[in-house]
Amino acid sequence: MKYVLAIVVALLVFPVEAADWKERGDIGALFKSAGINGTFVLYDIADDAYIGYNQSRAETRFVPASTFKIPNTLIGLSVGAVKDVDEVLPYGGQPQFMKEWEEDMGLRKAIALSNVPIYQHLAQRIGLEHMRENIMKMDYGNKEIGSQVDRFWLDGPLKVSAIEQARFLARLAQGILPFPAALQASVREIVQVDQGKDWVLYGKTGWESAPNPGVGWWVGWVHKNNRIYTFALNMDVHSAVDADKRVVLGRKSLALLGVL
């Protein structure tokens, strides 16, 4: 009986994903040739399967950094902190890391510029209680946000793995998160970044501790031929040169897998 109980507890503490993992050496070769330590995972929703590189790192949680702007937008819309993605929010009037951030703007423009102060203001409007409730509701990462509502996705304690990012985005891409469908559609609209003949690409970058060394992210999904493939890349970033490789490596990985 004690043995059975121990197994149950272990499963509760360390959730097991049902999907299979297929390791791709060619994607690993991309990372190695670029001198990057990281992981890439593609989640094929229809087949409920993962394809990627470095499974152990894909299962490891890191601070989400600016990739959290995706759930932050959805939460802000759902609690009425903003009426829509074009309502103008104040940046606060202080000098910023990027000159482009020194402007009042709506979430549509702010997410494209990865504007930190705009999203910090949004989080302040949402408030700690509503933020915590909705992160629990969407089952995002370790669901821990601490006591500082405008820093937890930048410094922790919130952490999420690449696999968890891919699973979360799969629900958003399909519009099956426990939030109004119209609000999920608004979020999808503002993270579209590119399209081709038979595909549409959605994505968001992140960089912990920018411009200092930290973990870099690129997450998103591709809608191709009536199928949805979500993906998440994270990597060690030591400089802006490394940061520029996030999307490059991600797109090359997607191309190798025939998704782009």
Active site residues: 66
Give the three-state DSSP class for 217: strand
**CA–CA separation, 149 and 138 (whole Å):** 17
User: Which CB contacts under 8 angstroms, 24+ apart, belong to 36-39?
Assistant: 36/235, 36/236, 36/242, 36/245, 36/249, 37/235, 37/236, 38/216, 38/233, 38/234, 38/235, 38/236, 38/249, 39/162, 39/233, 39/234, 39/235
Q: Which are the contacts of 154, defined by CB distance < 8 A and separation ≥ 6? A: 63, 65, 116, 208
* Token output for 8: 């149950």
Dihedral (CA of 107, 113, 118, 123) sign: positive
Nearest to 230 by CA among 165, 135, 140: 165
**CA–CA separation, 177 and 164 (whole Å):** 14
Count of other CB atoms within 10 angstroms of residue 134: 20
CB-CB contact of 174 with 228 (8 Å): yes
**CA–CA separation, 155 and 212 (whole Å):** 13
Count of other CB atoms within 10 angstroms of residue 72: 25
